[in-house]
Amino acid sequence: MSRALSRNQLKGLIKEITKLYPASYADSSWDNTGLLIDCSTLQSDVQKPKVLLTIDLTAAVAQEAVNHGCNLIMSYHPFIFPSWKRISPWSNPQHQSAVKLIQHGISVYCPHTAIDAAKDGVNAWLASSLVHDQSLIDSSVSIEKVSPVQGEQDFEVGYGRVVKLRSQISLQSVIESLKASLGIETVQCAVKQTLSEFQVQTVALCAGSGSGVFKNLKDDVDLYLTGEMSHHEILRLREMGKAVVVCNHSNTERGFLKSVMVQQLSKAGIDCVVSTEDSDPLTYV
């Protein structure tokens, strides 16, 4: 039986989602965001829509949505990226998942960089993950600006963040706070001096892949935090006396779903669950 929402039901959900993560904040120059699969119908028997939250829409996540009777998947990363010229389910597993979702009437919405730039989005959460005691944060300012549409201050919205702490703290304590907040056991760290001796007061951070955002950085900082960065970029920063911490791309994003997003959407009246099948594709062995 199809789980398709009515057109009005789906529009109502997206309206609430975009109040939190305005569509105009997404970087349309390269990102593929918005309603990527629309299975809505004129009328629907669905009484209470259910949304599955995930970072990546894999085959396992698609099946999870079917099993849980979900009507919409909100996938942080775009499911269709960069583009598809045809749908070939027998040769492409992603296309197979798309066919399955359409057959079950499950729509897909992908906000990605709109969440990155939002005032209370993933980068704001990542900034709060630097320290256990939030009173230690003196300021948090976006690196790459977007035009505010909901009355925010310019510095509150945009890609990446520069965080200034009220006093120096050890890099080791930052790492321990990050691991606890992100729910991971290990990070990768590059630092020229002894880890236990390195002190941090300023941080440039960007969830996911930070290289493009860091090119717009005008501040001198002690620590660069992101999900992934190239070997030569890390080497250059370490030689400059900076510290670099990388956590794997989606590890800098996934914790936001449980810590922040599910509460934001629930407060907006949306019945949602966080995927238990979603995980970073890379593991340490």
pLDDT per position as a tens digit, 116-175: 999 999 999 999 999 999 999 999 999 999 999 999 999 999 999 999 999 999 999 999
> Which amino acid, residue 285?
V
At residue 83 the predicted structure's pLDDT band, cuts being 50, 70 and 90, is confident
pLDDT of residue 285: 85
Nearest-angstrom CA–CA distance, 16 and 120: 15
Q: Residue 201: exposed, middle, or buried by beta-carbon count in 10 A (0-12, 13-18, 19+)?
A: middle
DSSP secondary structure code for residue 268 in this structure: T
Q: Would you state the pLDDT for residue 82? A: 86
DSSP class of 43: S
Give the count of beta carbons closer than 10 Å to the beta carbon of residue 234.
20
Instruction: Share the mean pLDDT of the chain.
Output: 96
Q: Look at residue 1 in the predicted model and tell me its pLDDT.
A: 65
Instruction: Find the radius of gyration of the CA atoms of the chain.
Output: 20
Angle (nearest 5°) at CA 268 between 32 and 253: 45
What percent of the chain has a predicted confidence (pLDDT) above 90?
A: 94
The tokens describing 3, both together, are: 């789980």
Q: Which amino acid would we find at residue 189? A: C
152 is in an annotated binding site: no
Query: Is 38 labelled a binding residue?
Result: no
Neighbours of 27 (CB within 10 A): 16
Q: Which of 134, 127, 154 is nearest to 25 (CA)?
A: 154
Question: pLDDT value at position 2?
Answer: 80
Report cis status (omega within 30 of 0) of the bond before 22.
Answer: no
Residue 15 has pLDDT above 80, yes or no: yes
What are the structural domains, with CATH classification, of the chain? 7-115 (3.40.1390.30), 118-252 (3.40.1390.30)
How is the beta sheet containing 50-54 ordered, strand by strand?
Answer: 34-37, 107-110, 72-75, 50-54, 271-274
pLDDT of res. 189: 97
Write out pLDDT tens, residues 228-243: 999 999 999 999 999 9
CA–CA distance, 19 with 122 (Å, rounded to integer): 15
CA gap 229, 119 in Å, rounded: 24
What is the C-alpha to C-alpha distance for residues 198 and 170, in angstroms, rounded to an integer? 6
* 95 annotated to bind ligand: no
CA angle (52 as vertex; 47, 55 as ends), nearest 5: 160
Contact partners, residue 35, CB within 8 Å, separation at least 6: 10, 14, 107, 108, 109
- Rounded to whole angstroms, the Cα distance separating 230 from 212 reads 11
- The reply to whether 68 sits in an annotated binding site is no
CA dist., res. 30 & res. 212, Å (int) = 12
- The per-residue pLDDT for range 182-221, each reduced to its tens digit, is 999 999 999 998 998 999 999 999 999 999 999 999 999 9
Contact of 88 with 52, CB cutoff 8 Å: no
Q: Tell me the C-alpha distance between 48 and 21, whole Å.
A: 22
